[in-house]
């Protein structure tokens, strides 16, 4: 069985792209570096990861400018075709600003950058990213952000709960995130974003390994994905 | 046309930056119960029609300059 090719996109200001590729390679994927200015995802891509960082200096709002990167058109096509896409931290912010995911990320109510291990609870296993988990599983994964408080209005939160789109919640009120939301998916379930960094929690030598099942879920989904091949027009 | 776009956090949206500034103003001795921080975008548009300038600026807000989930905006077209 060949390793699924997962494109990890580097934007100007991304800084977790290297760790993401390393983590994916260690979990059975073949991570491929992709550049924001490319017109298309690398050939044979069956999964996409948007890494953490501070794309475009967080100008205007976090993730707001990255949405206009040339490669994002192809990411949107890939997502619309059902391909698995995972956004971590700044990648989550980019997916929200691109309207591929619901809601928006706001400054932490602690008024501080936050860098520590947190515990998140798995709320649903109906998406590929948590298929290896059980509902109620607790995963310890680090966060490191200044603007990690997810927000949606009452109607949106109600919709997401009805459709099982809230995937992960913090076990504590960490940063003012609405209803302790740590990660959400799109309606189809093939695009997910989360603020904690699973790519920093895969090796027991370095600490907790709560990130493994999430990334393995992406690798599984990328291996299984048989959608239309990525166009290189 | 010159256009000023004023973007504010919507009512009820937590504004940690505003709170930090309010606290600092309080330490300076001012009686401040609330501070909210938004942003101003000054634009110079190619069009010479005030109506067109306003319409364009509003579209810009909807598509990029503001996030309607958390921010409201006002457009002021400078009189010639």
Domain ranges of chain A: 5-224
- Pairs of residues, one from chain A and one from chain B, whose beta carbons lie less than 8 Å apart: 33
Active site residue A197: yes
* Model pLDDT, residue A227: 75
Active site residue A89: yes
Q: What percent of chain A has pLDDT over 70?
A: 97
Architecture of domain A5-224 in CATH?
3-Layer(aba) Sandwich (3.40)
**Residue span of the structural domain in which B30 resides:** 2-77
Cβ proximity of A141 and A120 under 8 Å: yes
CB contact under 8 A, A111 and B19: yes
Interface of B with A in 24-63 (CB under 8 A): none
**Domains contained in chain B, number:** 1
Active site residue A96: no
How far apart CA A181 and CA A124 sit, in angstroms, is 13
Nearest to A217 by CA among A40, A1, A4: A4
> What are the tokens at A64?
């707001």
Q: How far is A111 from chain B (nearest CA, A)?
A: 6
CB contact under 8 A, A106 and B70: yes
Given a cut of 90, whether residue B79 has pLDDT beyond it is no
Chain segment B7-63, per-residue pLDDT in tens: 999 998 989 999 999 999 999 999 999 999 999 999 999 999 999 999 999 999 999
pTM: 0.92
Residue of B15, B17, B67 with shortest CB distance to A61: B67
């Amino acid at each position: 069985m060949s390793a699924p090719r997962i494109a990890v996109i580097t934007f100007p200001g991304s800084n977790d792209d290297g760790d993401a590729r390393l983590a994916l390679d260690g979990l059975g994927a073949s991570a491929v570096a992709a550049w924001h200015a490319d017109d298309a995802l690398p050939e044979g891509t069956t999964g996409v990861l948007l890494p953490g960082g501070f794309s475009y200096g967080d100008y205007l709002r976090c993730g707001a400018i990255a949405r206009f990167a040339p490669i994002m058109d192809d990411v949107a096509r890939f997502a619309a075709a059902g391909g698995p896409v995972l956004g971590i931290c700044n990648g989550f912010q980019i997916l929200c600003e691109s309207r591929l995911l619901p809601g928006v990320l706001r400054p932490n109510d602690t008024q501080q950058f936050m860098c520590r291990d947190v515990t998140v609870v798995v709320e649903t296993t109906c998406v590929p990213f948590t298929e290896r988990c059980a509902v109620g599983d607790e995963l310890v994964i680090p966060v490191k952000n200044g603007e990690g408080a997810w927000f949606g209005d009452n109607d949106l939160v109600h919709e997401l709960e009805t459709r099982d789109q809230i995937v992960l919640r913090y076990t504590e009120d960490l940063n003012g995130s609405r209803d302790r939301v740590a990660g959400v998916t799109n309606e189809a379930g093939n695009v997910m974003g989360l603020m904690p960094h699973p790519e920093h929690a895969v090796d027991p030598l370095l600490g907790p390994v709560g990130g493994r099942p999430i990334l393995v879920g992406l690798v599984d989904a990328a291996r299984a994905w048989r959608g239309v091949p990525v166009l290189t027009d | 046309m010159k256009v000023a776009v004023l973007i504010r956090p919507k009512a009820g949206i937590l504004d940690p930056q505003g709170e930090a500034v309010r606290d600092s103003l309080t330490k300076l001795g001012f009686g401040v119960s609330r501070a909210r921080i938004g942003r101003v975008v000054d634009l110079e548009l190619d069009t010479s029609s005030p109506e067109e300038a306003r319409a364009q600026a509003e579209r810009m807000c909807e598509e990029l300059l503001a996030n309607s989930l958390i921010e409201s905006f006002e457009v002021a077209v400078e009189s010639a």
